[in-house]
Chains A and B, each alone.
Chain A
Amino acid sequence: GAVVSQHPSWVICKSGTSVKIECRSLDFQATTMFWYRQFPKQSLMLMATSNEGSKATYEQGVEKDKFLINHASLTLSTLTVTSAHPEDSSFYICSASPNYEQYFGPGTRLTVT
């Protein structure tokens, strides 16, 4: 149990375009999901906390107008990288929690050319 999926697993896009990443909790409901970003050889950095039915809470230094988060249901949160640039290339990981523990998705590798 407690499986989190992400789609797509990898994506390549051109600079200036937008990319949507989906995070789903497959066998539990999650009122809160978290979005992390990980650059090569670095640790995970929290970007934002996604709350079902309300606005996301962004960490300092993360542009909310660039990284749009929608948490439309108890099993789905989406992260849209708008007007992507090469510096947005990274590994994006979501997590969700049915209780105290957090379960992570497999990550989405974004490459912006």
Chain B
Amino acid sequence: DAKTTQPNSMESNEEEPVHLPCNHSTISGTDYIHWYRQLPSQGPEYVIHGLTSNVNNRMASLAIAEDRKSSTLILHRATLRDAAVYYCILRDVMFDHGGSQGNLIFGKGTKLSVKP
């Protein structure tokens, strides 16, 4: 899986939008862009994923650059409960379920702090 680069930390005010960037300049054509987040002392939680087009779900939006070398996770209105470490992960759509290629490789992520 290709490598991603994220800022170590970001701050946001409650009820304001948050844009979390991720660079993945070596992304391959079959890599999906995944975002997970991990709240303190909990397991990671799936947020969103996409391939080429922008994606929206109830938790967030994912904006993918036209060249796919970067993406941005958008939280439309941050709440205190959104304070977490956000991980941007690339994973090839063609993975072998029987081997470690199917696992997710976590980088350091971005620690998001939300101020009231």
Contact = CB atoms under 8 A, between A and B. Distances in A.
B44 interface: yes
Interface of B: 36, 38, 41-46, 49, 87, 93, 97-100, 102-109
Contacts of B108: 43
A49 B98 CA distance: 8
Contact of A105 (B43, B98, B100): B43
- Interface residues of A, dominant DSSP: strand
Nearest to A42: B108
A32 B97 contact: yes
- Interface residues of B, dominant DSSP: loop
Given A43-B106, A43-B109, A107 B43 contact: yes
Given A31-B97, A43-B108, A51-B98, A93 B43 contact: yes
Contacts of B109: 43
Contacts of A57: 99-100
B51 to A, nearest CB: 12
B42 A59 contact: no
A95 B100 CA distance: 12
A43 B93 CA distance: 23
B37 to A, nearest CB: 11
Contacts of A97: 97, 102
Nearest to A97: B102
Contacts of B45: 104
Given A32-B97, A57-B99, A97-B97, A46 B105 contact: yes
A43 B107 contact: yes
